[in-house]
Structures are given as structure tokens and as C-alpha cells.
A = this chain, B = another copy of it.
């Protein structure tokens, strides 16, 4: 079985949407990535850090899904990273109400020995130096390294961010971040510039407007599934990344054709994630539902025009 190494936050979130609000619930990039990737036939491990206040049941839940949690460090007397945000009415934008780094401030990631030769590495959104710290511990070159990042690091750690970008195969950013990173409004031009920075593949996430995959002159687009109700977008991007990397790790195929499929799986999982608060929907998601929704994605996007019709 192929190995997927996941680095990212395991955290508490408090979320407000037009539909309600939560107290501190389970959150964090690595949590969502791990949940989503656990639907594939891969051996995965999360490298992260939590405080002593982090409920054992959350760790048990991740472990019960086959995720190796031995590299989630529990800091004695420490407090878990906490993020709180409020979504606007359109759910496309949000305000951060509170960010408490806590144990994340001094996080020194330790890659488990057994994952230093991981096949696929998913670097969830974190300080670029932490992401680099993980890459430096690997003893074999992974088949694929995927990087997620955000505008925050472009603002305050651009040099370090460019360093890690240079070392990855795939980068995932949203449309605004792609524009900020390159100064190009056109996403086609932005993706071309990002490829010059290192990554052969660029994934641009557009939220409810879907996701684009760029590689040289090739472009693939996966829409978001149109839903009656989007309840809570938190974690959708990470869930997407987990589906993407889980699929790649399982299939061991780096062709563009297979990357397309991985993008569709990412979108598939993300469409579930947003249906309920936090990780709720992902925790009770069944494989059959994923298969059924894959069928919906096909109906949504596939057409059959014979070129002779011209």
C-alpha cells in the first residue's frame, strides 16, 4: 500500500454561518485532508501538534480511520491552535474573528521514520519554513509533493514561501491567491507564471465556481456540484486536497488523465464537506455516497458531440 504523508494543523474551530454557529469543534487542515484521504486504499500519517486540551476522542476517531497519528505531538500543558471565523451571507467570504496559535507557534514537525519514504506528501497550509522542515526530513524523493498555502504567507513570508514552492510538484491556491502571487488577473497567465516558480501542476480553487488544473498548455476544469444549500465551507479546500492526494497515492499514476480524475474526486469530497458544520458530514460519509455523487458529476459535465456534426 502506498504511503501518504500529511502535514498540517489539527485544531479547534468556532464557526459562524448564516445558518448557525458552533462552539469549539474539531478542525484543522490535516484533519480534513486525513478524513478525505481515508476513503482510499493508502497508508496515511498526520504530522501535527495539539495541546493537552485536545480531546482523546478526536485522535481516536482519526486513528479508527486507519490514519497513523503517532506523529501528532501532544504538548503537555499546551493549548491547541484555535481559529474562529464568521462567513458572510454569500458564504464566499469570511472574517477571521480570532486566531490563537498556541502550540503551533513552536511547532517542529517530526516525520515518523516509516513515512520518510512516503510516496505522496501533502503539505497542508502552514508556515513555509515548517513545510520545508518536513521536506528536509525525507530520505527518498516522493512521487508527488503537493503544497497548499494562502495569501497570509504571501504577505509575511514570501521569500520562504517561494523556497518551498520551488520544491513541490503541485500547488493548490485559490483564484485571489494566484492573482496576488503573480500580479496577473487572468488565471491562465497566473498559472503559467506559477509553473515558472517550480510546480509542474497548478490547481486553482474557485470555491463554488469549481477548480482548474493547469499543466503546461493543458487545462482541466471541475465544477463544484451545485447544491441546494451550502451550510459551512470550512475545510472544503483541505477536503479537496485530501481527495486529490488520496486518489493519486492509491492509483500511483501521474498522468494528466489521472490527475483529472483526482481533481474530480477532490471536488466530490468537498461537495459533501460543505453540507454540514465542520467535519460532521465527512465523518459519517459512506463510500456508496461517493460513488453515487461521482455519477452526478458525470451527468453534470459529460457531453457527447460528434465532430462530424459541425
In the bound complex, CA of A90 to CA of B188 (Å): 14
A107 to B227, alpha carbons, bound, how many Å?
42
Contacts of A229 in B (CB 8 A): 186, 189
Does chain B have a CB within 8 A of A24? no
How many Å from the CB of A269 to the closest CB on chain B?
A: 13
Total A residues in contact with B, Cβ cutoff 8 Å: 42
Tell me, yes or no, whether A87 is within 8 Å of chain B by CB: no
Cross-chain contact of A219 among B226, B304, B305 (Cβ < 8 A): B226
Asked if A257 CB lies within 8 Å of chain B CBs, one says yes
Q: In the complex, what's the smallest C-beta–C-beta distance from A49 to chain B, in angstroms?
A: 34
Q: Chain B nearest CB: distance from A86 CB in Å?
A: 17
Which chain B residue lies CB-closest to A300? B221
A214's nearest neighbour on chain B, judged by CB, is B226
Q: How far is the CA of A304 from the CA of B304 in the complex (A)?
A: 13
Select A185's contact among B89, B210, B226, B294, beta carbons within 8 Å: B89
Query: How many copies of this chain sit in the oligomeric assembly?
Result: 2
Tell me, in angstroms, the Cα distance from A189 to B185 when the chains sit together.
31
Whether B300 contacts A305 by the Cβ 8 Å rule is no
Contact with B along A204-218 (1 / 0, CB 8 A): 001001101000001
Question: Taking A206-B209, A287-B310 as contacts, is the C-beta distance between A294 and B299 under 8 angstroms?
Answer: no
Alpha-carbon distance A303/B301, docked complex (angstroms): 9
Contact yes or no, B219 A300, CB < 8 A = yes
Query: Which residues of the other chain, B, contact A22 by a CB distance below 8 angstroms?
Result: none
Give A137-189 interface residues, CB cut-off 8 Å to B.
Answer: 185-189
The reply to whether B257 and A304 contact each other, CB–CB distance below 8 Å, is yes
A305 touches B299 (CB 8 A): no
Which of B89, B219, B291, B303 interacts with A261 by CB under 8 Å? Answer: B303
Check A218 against B299 for contact (C-beta < 8 Å).
Answer: yes
Return the CB mask of A267-310 against B: 1 if under 8 Å, else 0.
00000000000000000000100110011001111111101011
Top 9 A-B residue pairs of the complex, sorted by shortest distance between their CB atoms: A209-B209, A260-B303, A221-B223, A188-B228, A291-B310, A261-B305, A188-B226, A301-B301, A221-B300
Contacts A219-B226, A220-B301, A221-B300 aside, 14 further interface pairs with beta carbons under 8 A come to A186-B230, A189-B228, A189-B229, A209-B210, A212-B226, A218-B299, A220-B299, A220-B303, A260-B303, A261-B303, A290-B310, A294-B305, A301-B302, A302-B302
